[in-house]
A and B are shown apart, each in its own frame.
Chain A
Amino acid sequence: MSEEAKRKILIIEDDKSLQNALAEMLTQEKYEIISAFDGEEGLKKAKDEKPDLVLLDIILPKKDGYEVLAEIKKGEEKNIPVLILTNLEEIDNVQKAIDLGATTFMVKSDFSLKDVLEKVKENLK
């Protein structure tokens, strides 16, 4: 197993079919996947499981992506790269996420799974 194989990725995404597709593609690439379907669960798993990278949606139940991002960046996990995956492409949304410390901002409808995988690899180097 390669070095990358042990890397843990937390996917915080409330849409089950998006979550499944992402998890499937990343599992095939030998990453370990942790799934969370709302902001609170995502934040808890980020603290408990200490993933190497977080894929974070913005519109989420219980706690939105901005709150999750802000709390991750306040705590011990602040160095974990957080990649935003959303369809909110407006400049204020992008700016807010970057200001809060997001590593990169990806628009789901523009990105293929391959593009997402590339960004993941880039940020796990």
Chain B
Amino acid sequence: MFLKFLDDLNFVSACRKYKLGLWQCPNFLFLMMGVVTIVVMFGTYFVSQHYYSETVTIASVSLVAVFILTISSFIISGVEKIAEANIMKSEFISVISHQLCTPLSAIKWNLEVLETENGEGDDKLTPKQLIFLQNIEKSNEKMLKLVNDLLEVIRIDQGRSVFVRDKVSLVQLAQEVIQNLEYLKIARKVSVNLRDSSPLPRVYVDPKKMKIAMENLIGNAIKFSEEGDEVNIILRMEKKRIMLIIEDHGVGIPRYQHSRVFEKFFRSNNASKYRTEGVGLGLYLVKAILKNFGGEVWFESEANKGSTFYVSLPAAVN
């Protein structure tokens, strides 16, 4: 706390980081404001002790008010500048991501044509060529997922994401997600067990968005597991809510980073040790998506022992 306060006082490095001049930099201006407030307090005491003239009092108070107002306006314009830069950054990411979507979709569709129209005889692709084609397809899917996650984060932040609702079976969604992550399971040599206490009531969610959330949670569990490990997925009913529990025995998250897990662009120190892919948007997305369905997500984790993520969703009324 105290260190953070000292850090805040170091306005030169903060202003350099924001790439703002001193009179546009909120850290410097807040410090100035503090200094002015202290000077004004002592000044008022001094004036009231030595001068009894009403004119002097009014004049000094007005002078101080104008000074404070001027600094405040600088603060506002500084904050505005940072906010504008933030908006521009989101717009930039949005434009770039949209631009990337077209060629990535084109690659996907053209590969699909190649695979479905794989001819006969001399026109037929060799098994080796097919493997390379599938490699391209997988890499393309990865890029598309990254771009789509980025776009979804921007849409959610701007309140522009489409959420449709449908009664769906989480068991079925989990099976589909595990199927989609088959390549990752094989690559990381991790086995995934799904245990459900059927029949479970369905949940009222957007299946596409729920799949994104589950893919991120289950994908993380696989990615951060050791070779030969098991990932357990448990679905059960608990007090009119459906619980989805995803348990791994992998790298875990150090305790001091627990509070930052659902932050945007957060990546645990342990994650980089594993050199796994990702930009740190997954869990931010998971939390934002679940919030829309009245869901909750939390976790228990210990470094080098593994993580267990819990998702709770209201059961749909029949």
Contacts and interface: CB of A to CB of B under 8 A. Distances in A.
B211 to A, nearest CB: 11
B108 A89 contact: no
B257 interface: no
Contacts of B162: 89-91, 94
A18 B109 contact: yes
Interface in B148-162: 148, 151, 155, 158, 160-162
A114 interface: yes
Nearest to A23: B113
B175 interface: no
B110 interface: yes
Given A89-B155, A109-B144, A25 B113 contact: yes
Interface residues of A, number: 22
A18 B155 contact: no
A14 to B, nearest CB: 9
A87 to B, nearest CB: 4
A91 B106 contact: no
Contact of B101 (A20, A21, A87, A92): A87
Contacts of A87: 98, 101-102, 105
A46 B116 CA distance: 30
Contact of A24 (B103, B117, B160, B161): B117
Q: How large is the interface on B (under 10, 10 to 19, 20 to 34, 35 or more residues)?
A: 20 to 34
Interface in A52-77: none
A109 B105 contact: yes
B160 A109 contact: no
A94 B208 CA distance: 16
B112 A28 contact: no
A112 B102 contact: no
Given A90-B160, A91-B161, A17 B110 contact: yes
A22 interface: yes
A92 B158 CA distance: 11
A109 B100 CA distance: 10
Contacts of A113: 109, 112-113, 116
B147 interface: yes
Given A109-B148, A113-B113, A15 B102 contact: yes
Contact of B105 (A28, A91, A108): A108
Contacts of A48: none
B104 interface: yes
A91 B148 CA distance: 15
Contacts of A92: 160
B104 A114 contact: no
Given A89-B162, A94-B162, A112 B112 contact: yes
Contacts of B113: 21, 24-25, 113
10 contacts: A17-B109, A21-B113, A24-B117, A25-B109, A87-B102, A89-B155, A108-B101, A113-B113, A113-B116, A114-B116
Interface of B: 98, 101-106, 108-110, 112-113, 116-117, 144, 147-148, 151, 155, 158, 160-162, 208
Given A25-B109, A25-B116, A91-B160, 14 more contacts: A18-B102, A21-B106, A21-B109, A24-B117, A87-B98, A87-B102, A90-B160, A92-B160, A108-B105, A109-B101, A109-B148, A112-B108, A112-B112, A113-B109
Which 6 pairs across A and B sit closest by C-beta, in order of nearness?
A21-B109, A87-B101, A17-B106, A108-B105, A90-B160, A91-B162
